[in-house]
Structure formats: structure tokens, C-alpha cells
Structure 1
Amino acid sequence: MTYRVLSQLVPILPGLFLAWLGDMGWRKSLIALPLLGLMLSRLVVLFMLILDWPLKVLWVEVIITGLCGGTTVFWSGIMTLLSLCSTGQDRSKLLMRAELISGLSGVVGCLTAGHLYDFSSPTLRPGVVTLLLCFLLHASCILYVIFFLKVGALCDNKTLKKANDEATWDHPHKVSNIILLWVSVVLYNAVDSSTRNILVLFQLMEPLHWNVIQVGYGNASGFLITLSSFLSSVILSRWLSDSALITIGLLSNAAGMLPMAFATTTYMFVIARALTFFSLMPVPFICSLLSQQVHGSSYSKLLTSLQLSLKISSAGTNLLYAKIYKETFSWFPGLVLVLSSLISTLAIIPIRIYDSRLSVRCIYRVIEDEEADQPDLLLEKQEPSGCGVGELEPIQTGFWARGP
């Protein structure tokens, strides 16, 4: 747990600096430098295994990763590029698609990692093959970013101007909307990341007693949630608003954590896990709504700051959950999962407040046609920030109505 907390706190200052570089035009730095840190850290651990270095070398590994930004800055860089090359109307789907690709690759990694880790020989220790593969994959990603990724082609001036125009709608609650969305995603992510860490202990120890291969399959089932969440978002987004999909995701997470806390067999755990099949929808949809509140030139700072705040909150809840789990393990090891269910339900409140402020989707203003001999009054529809730009046609309103 200390290792995880350190990995979440070290990237704060480097992340802010890289976010500033990204908004200054160095978009690739948000992706290339974190990948370089990850590659070097894997190399350090590889040498630790081969040369039998002491376990304290892992502190060097986590510091190298953090100083280069780590996965926090890497993922915010991905979201920044996707936000810049999309409009507000399709941004949530694009971010959800990125979550899907990440989840599917996680499924492959989890299914193979357990088997590759046990591969050894008289000259190779367990884990060496896994680290070699990680090093090669990170190196290939860096080469792709440097030589093949065309950031200028993704973020052309027309797309950036359109993204900026979407954020200029005059809305009286813009700042408070950002705060509401921020609070909701922080509450959700804090319990989600902390629960994932505790689930490893929950699976290895009583009452489940899983082995390493079973844990790999369990993690793979967790990543499969990205597939179910993506398909659900694609289908349901035809009729439901983004805030409604966020609420469904939060309810799914809460509904899955509660019965999981009382699971005593693998069969019961799998059933409870199935209830969380929509639980990964909130973060990409909230990130999409947040990006629509600011200009495109501030995406890096906003999304990186968001990711860093998520890491800081996760660090605090990781320590709290570890303490609670240690104190309650002997009589009720699933208490932290019950707590996660309650907090996930609590995160729905800011989303409901946000949605109630956007219940009136269209604001009309009267403009005068200067070309006509007699001024004609025309209605020009505007969208509140965060709703996207739609066509000039009647639309539904309300919490469950799909925005224009």
C-alpha cells in the first residue's frame, strides 16, 4: 500500500509541468515521457531479478516512473488528444472507445501474465519473461509516438476552433458545474481504485483463497467490464443523456460492491462481479462533460489536474481502506466493499444537481436580420456548455432525455 501511495504522489509536480508543456504545444510530451519512465522502471526491476539486487530497488523504480509522469500523465495525454480531435457531441463515445481498447488489452495481459510469470529455467527467474515483454512493448510504443503519431493531423485548427466555440456558451453555472462534476468523479474514482487494491487481498485470503492464475482470470473479468460498459454506452446513448449514463454506471458499481462484500465462494463472487458490468461508464463521460466547459487550449491542464486529483484522493482512501481492512479482517473482511457501495451511491447526488441545472436544454435569444427591409425576429438556438451543439430542431428535456 505504501508503494501504491508513493506512485500516486510522486507524479504531482512533474505532471503539472508536463501539462503546461502540453498546452504550450508539446502534445507528444504528455505521452512520450511517461512511456519512457515506464520503460526505464521495468528495466530496473528486470535488473533487480537478474542480478539479485535488494528489494529496496523498487523504491527507485517507482520514483523514476513518477518523475516522468507515470500512467497519470500518460492517460491525461491520451484524453487531451482525443478531446482535441472530437466535437462535444461524440467526445464521450471516443473516450469510452479508448477505455475499451485499454480494457481489452488488459484482458490479454491478465490472462497471459500469470502463466508467463511462472515460466522459468535454470538461468531465468520467475517474472523475467514478463518484464522483458513489458520492456519491449513500452519501447515499441515510444517509437510509434516519436516517428508515426501525427499530433498536428489530429488537432487541426478547424477542430480546435470548433472545440473552443463549444466552450464559449454563456452559462451562469459554469464554475459550479465543473465543481459538481469534479466532486462526483473524485468520489467514484477514490473508492473504485481503492476497492481494486483491496480485492487482490480479498481474493488471495479468506474466504476465497485464490491462486495466482485465478487472480489473473479475476482481473481479466474486471477488464471485461470495459467491453460491457462500452457496448452499453453506444446503445443507450441513443436515448439517454450523458448524465443518465453516468448515474447508471454509479448505480451499477454500488449494486455490485454490496453483494460482493458477502461473497464466500468463487461462484458468488462472479455473480456479484456481473452486476458491475456498467460501472466504468462514469469517468469517460464526466471527462467529456468537463472538457466542454473550457477552451481547447486548456485541455491538458484541466485533464492532468483532474487525473492528479484522482490519484491524490486514491492515495488517501488506499491508506484508509488498508487500515479498515486490517481492523475488520477477522470478523467481516467485506466491510470496505460495503463502504464503497455507499460512497458510489453518494456520488450520484452531484450529477443529479448538475443535470437539474441543464434541464432546459435550449436557450433562445432574439437577433435582428439586418438585411431585411423590416427587421425580422429570428430565433437562434444556443446550447449550454456541456450539452454539445445540436441541430435546430425540437428536443426532449429532462434527466433521462438524450441531449441534442
Structure 2
Amino acid sequence: MKGLYLVEPVVALYAFSCFLIYPLVQQYVYRRLWQELTNTPYPTSDNASRCADNSSSNHSSYHEEVQRQTSLFFLYSELFSTIPSLVATLMLVAYSDRGGRKVTIIIPLIGTLIYTLSFLAVSYCELNIYLLIVASLLSSPFGGLATFLGGCFAYIADLCDDDRQKTLRMAGVDMMIGLLSGVASISTGYFLRAAGFNWPFLTSALFQGLILLYVIFILEETVTKAPADSVILDGSPQRSAMKQTIYGVYYMFERANRRSKTTLFLLILIFTSFCFAYVGGSSLVTLYELNKPLCWNEILIGYGSALSSTVFLVSFAGVSAFTYCGVPQLLIVLMGILSVISGMVMLPFAKTTFLMFMVRVPMILSVMPFPVLRSMTSKIISQSEQGALFACLSFLESLTTNVSAAVFNSVYAATLEWFPGFSFLLSAGLCVIPLFVLGVVSLRGVDDAEEVKEQEPIFQGEEDLVEDQNDPVSLLS
């Protein structure tokens, strides 16, 4: 069978399978902790009864304790799985420059499948809930979502020669994530109410198995041999895999001229600081919806998650339209950051179901900065080092995602009693950092740096590297 160069179906089905269970994970942990702490069944028919204050009972104190313990549960889960996941991300995506992109996609799929099957086992057999933290630790060495997306973006960068095509196709990947995750989120609430937790976990595992078969047997490899300008440290690639990975990321910066190097660093700083603020605040939305006074049930949570996922669709349309009209890329990033700030500022004051749905409207452009920043950094780096670049981006994205989730969950647990929405205001405040750095990049002129990169080769060959270890880049006069 002839292979295909279509990675979008992989991303689409992966997003569907993951978002089929992501809204369930917090709800499952929340319900199990409710049962353990209150010794009463979780009230599924009427969520208002769960949140109602009753002066003759400890209902309200139980409610706050369940909220606190749930946030701490995910804090521990993130802390234990962070380091193995980071190492896997850096190793796999950087090594894909030589070993091929498919391995960077296959291994995270295996890890996600292990994680999903672990949830199914704990749910079906009613095992100790803290075994889920062990499952997270066991699946983390396979990488995660950041590793998977890093491999997919590097795969797309191999296929695209035109910068505009690269930007649009990377934005298209984010759009596919939003489209399928929205469908999955709507299905989740009804699926849970009709069949419980077991069937959604099983369905997700089946989809992940299907994706795995597609990648292994149908998806074509884009890297058939090591790049001609790759750094070879010794004659045995297997023995030097670790060194090759580290040096691949190191020389990505070392070979660049000074202006490109500075611009690349600033763009990555915008990417990571924005990711920290946005993901940290977004990770608490479901827990906040379970809290008083909203007290949403699984159906409302599903609709809320689906509405949130529409930001991927609108952001893709925004990136496509603005790129077509020639809007500067830095301005597109600015609009995305301002979109996140406006939504996060409104979230703490959404006390009704209507307002909680409406608060998603200001955030419809919040995903735009991610594909644009990936494309901008990709244009600064040579074609043979795309894997090293996306390894660096995926590593930093995974790091900031895990750290921000841990930080924001701990902040939420600490501020729950006096102001549950404080974490969202913190998220909005932290967005000032990428805004400031964006202003610095704008003043420096990122387009000038890209122009210099096009005129001056980033790499002159292995002979130049041997002759001058301190200055591997010789500029053309």
C-alpha cells in the first residue's frame, strides 16, 4: 500500500479521543473523592443539592474540601510526571531530524493509550484512585501531547516550502484540534450520563489504537536519511543518540547570526510565557464550573468545553484571514494575547450559567499566537534543524504546561475559601510578560532578522565547524 503524507487525520482523531476523556478526568476524580470524603453517593440528578449550604450539616465544608483535594490530586500528578515527559519530548523530537518523524508520533500515542487503559481499569474495577498518579508516571516517559504535536509540526515543516503555506497548515492543525475536540466535548456529557465512565474510556482507547495503526502502516515518513548538514559526533549514531539530540538543539542557536539568535530567543520567550499564563488559567475552568454557585452537571460541562474548543476554529479563520490580508504576524499575536486577557478578567465574575457561556466569546482568538509563533520561529531556522526547533518548543511547552498546571492548582487550593477566581486574574496578569516582550521584538524588527537569515547561511558545513568551534557561522560578504 502506498503511504500518505496526511498527518491531519492523525491529529483530528487524536484530539477526538483525548477530549472525549479530558473533561471526564476531573469529574471522575471529583466524584471519587466526594464519595470517599463524604461517605455518600455523588448527587448526579441535581447538582444544586451538592452545592447547597445546609447549616445543620457539614455539606459546605465537605464541598470545599473536595475542591481542595481534587486540585491537589492534579498537582501531584503533574509533579510526578513532568521530568520524564520533558526528557522524552526533548529526545524524541530532536532525534526525529535523523531518525524520522513517525517515531515522534508513535511513541506518544503508545503512552496515551497506556494512560487511557489505566483510567479504564481503575474505573471498571473501582481500584484506588491514587493509582492514576502511578499511571501518569508510567506513561510520561513516552512523551505526551506536546511531544505528539511537536512531531506533527516538524512533519508539516518538512512538507512546506512556502512560509505562508506553513503558517496556514500549522493553523489548520490547531483548527482540527478545535473541531474534533468540540464534537468530543459535546458527546462526553451525554455519553457519561447514558453509559457511565467506562464506555467513554474504552471508546477513546479504541480510537487511539486505530490512529496507531494508521501511523505505522499508512503514514509516509518525510525523513528518509539524515540531513547532509547534520552534526555527526562519531561513527555510531546509536551510541551518540543522547549527544546528537543535545548538540542538535545547541547548534540550532549557535549557528545562527546574532540578530537571528536574539529574535529567536525573544519569540520563544513569548511562546512559553503566553503558554504558561493561558494553559494555567484554562486548566481550572472545569473545576471552577463544579464549584458554587455554578454547580454545573456533566451536560453543561460538555457544552462549555465544546464552546471553548470553538476558539480553535475561529482562531484558524482569523489567522487565515489576517495572513491573506497581509496583517503583520506580530499584530496577530497581539490580538490573541489581548483576547486571553479579556476572557480571564471576566471569568471570576461569571456567577450564572449564561455569563459562564458568554465569557468564552472574548477568548475566541486566544489560540492565534501559537501557530503564528511556531511559523515565525521556523522561518529563522534552517530546514535541516526543524526537528531540533520543534523539540525545543515542545520541551518548553510541555514544561510550562506541567509547571503552570501545578502552580495554578496549588494557587486555586490556597485561595478557594476567599476568592476562587483569583487564579484567572493571575493568568491575565501574567499575560503582561509576553506583551512586553512582544513590544521589544516589534521595536527590534523581526522582519529584518528574517531577511538577514535569508541572505546569510546559518550553516557553512562541517569543515567550518572543525576550523572554528567558537564561530561556526561565517557570513557571506
TM-score of the aligned structures, taking structure 2 as reference length: 0.69
> Which residue identity is paired with 1:227?
L
Give me the whole-angstrom Cα distance separating, in 2, the residues matched to 1:247 and 1:384.
Answer: 24
Report the counterpart of residue 6 of structure 1 in structure 2: 80
Q: Please show how residues 100-179 of structure 1 align to structure 2 within 5 Å.
A: 100-120=175-195, 126-152=196-222, 172-179=258-265
- 2:71 is equivalent to residue 71 of structure 1: no
Matches within 5 A, 1:358-377: 358=445, 361=447
Classify the secondary structure of the residue corresponding to 1:208: coil
Query: Which structure is higher in helix share?
Result: 2
Deviation of 1:94 after TM superposition, in Å, equals: 1.1
Q: Distance in 2 between matches of 1:156 and 1:105?
A: 34
Displacement of 1:310 in angstroms is 2.2
Superposition RMSD in Å: 2.8
Say which SS state the counterpart of residue 279 (structure 1) adopts.
coil
Question: Residues 73 and 134 (structure 1 numbering): CA distance in 2 closer, same or farther, change over 3 Å?
Answer: same
Letter of the 1:182 counterpart: I
In structure 1, stretches of 5+ residues that fail to align are 121-125, 158-166, 364-381, 388-404
Please tell me whether the aligned partners of residues 289 and 386 of structure 1 are also in contact (alpha carbons under 8 angstroms): no
Does the C-alpha gap of structure 1 residues 324 and 119 become closer, same or farther in structure 2, counting only changes over 3 Å?
Answer: same
| Residue equivalent to 1:236 | 322
Residue type matched to 1:383 in 2?
A: E
Q: Give the direction of change, closer, same or farther, for the CA distance of 1:155–1:82 in structure 2 (3 Å limit).
A: farther
1:165-196: CA deviation from partner (whole Å, max 9, x where unpaired): xx9x9854111111111111111111111112
**Contact 1:37/1:70 (<8 A) preserved:** yes
The 1:272/1:345 distance shift into structure 2, 3 A limit, reads farther
**Contact persistence 2:100–2:224 (CA under 8 A):** no
Q: Relative to structure 1, is the Cα distance of residues 256 and 349 closer, same or farther in structure 2, using a 3 angstrom cutoff?
A: same
| Structure 1 residue identity aligned to 2:413 | K
50, 57, 61: which one aligns with 2:135: 61
SS at the partner of 2:99? coil
Task: State the shift of 1:145 in Å.
Answer: 0.6
Contact 2:94 2:389 in 1 (8 A): no
Aligned partner of 1:266 in structure 2 is: 353
Corresponding letter in the other structure for 1:113: T
Q: TM-score when scaled to structure 1?
A: 0.81
Check conservation: 1:30, 1:74, Cα contact below 8 A. yes
The aligned residue for residue 342 of structure 1 is 429
Q: CA deviation at 1:301?
A: 2.2
Quickly say closer, same or farther: Cα 1:225–1:154, change in 2 above 3 A. farther
Matched, 1:21 2:63: no
Match of 1:200 in 2: 286
- CA distance 1:362–1:332, shift in 2 (3 Å): closer
Superposed displacement of residue 198, structure 1: 1.5
Closer, same or farther in 2 for the Cα pair 1:104/1:130, shift >3 Å?
Answer: same
Tell me the secondary structure at the aligned position of residue 295 of structure 2: coil
Question: Match for 2:285: what amino acid?
Answer: L
AA at the equivalent of 1:22: S
The CA deviation at 1:152 is 3.2
Query: Which residue identity is paired with 1:58?
Result: L
Task: Give 1:33 deviation, angstroms.
Answer: 1.0
Q: Taking structure 1 as reference, are residues 107 and 155 closer, same or farther at Cα in structure 2, changes over 3 Å only?
A: farther
For each residue in 1:247-266, what CA deviation from the matched residue of structure 2 results, as whole angstroms up to 9, or x when unmatched? Answer: 11001111111122211112
Indicate the larger mover: 292-301 or 126-135.
292-301
Q: Would you say 1:352 and 2:439 are equivalent positions? A: yes
C-alpha distance in 1 between matches for 2:454 and 2:413: 42
Q: Could you tell me which amino acid in structure 2 is paired with residue 188 of structure 1?
A: F
Q: 1:385 to 1:211 in 2, by over 3 A?
A: farther
Change (3 A) 1:294 1:72: same
Render the CA deviation track for 1:258-313: whole Å, top value 9, x for unaligned: 12221111222222210011110011111111112212222222212222222222
* Structure 1 residues 92 and 5: alpha-carbon distance in aligned structure 2, compared to 1, 3 A threshold: farther
Q: CA deviation at 1:6?
A: 3.2
Query: What SS is found at the alignment partner of 2:163?
Result: coil
Q: Runs of 5+ in structure 2 lacking a partner? A: 1-73, 228-252, 456-477
Given the alignment, which residue of 297, 300, 303 partners 1:217? Answer: 303
Aligned partner letter, 2:80: L
- Runs of 4+ aligned residues of structure 1 deviating over 6 Å after TM superposition are 153-157
Query: Are 1:194 and 1:318, in contact at CA under 8 Å, matched by a contact in 2?
Result: yes
The answer as to 2:451 corresponding to 1:383 is: yes
Q: Give the drift of 1:386.
A: 8.8
Return the offset for 1:153: 8.9
* Preserved CA contact (<8 Å) 1:72 1:304: no
3-state SS, counterpart of residue 40 of structure 1: helix
Deviates more, 1:239-248 or 1:60-69: 60-69
Q: What's the counterpart of residue 183 of structure 1?
A: 269
Match of 1:391 in 2: none
**Cα separation, 2, equivalents of 1:140 and 1:63:** 24
**Aligned-partner Cα distance in 1 for 2:454–2:362:** 29
Distance 2:400 2:115 in 1: 24
Q: In structure 2, how many angstroms separate the alpha carbons of the residues matched to 1:153 and 1:28?
A: 9
> Contact conserved, 2:263 with 2:441, CA < 8 A, in 1?
yes
In the TM superposition, what is the alpha-carbon distance from 1:156 to its structure 2 partner? 12
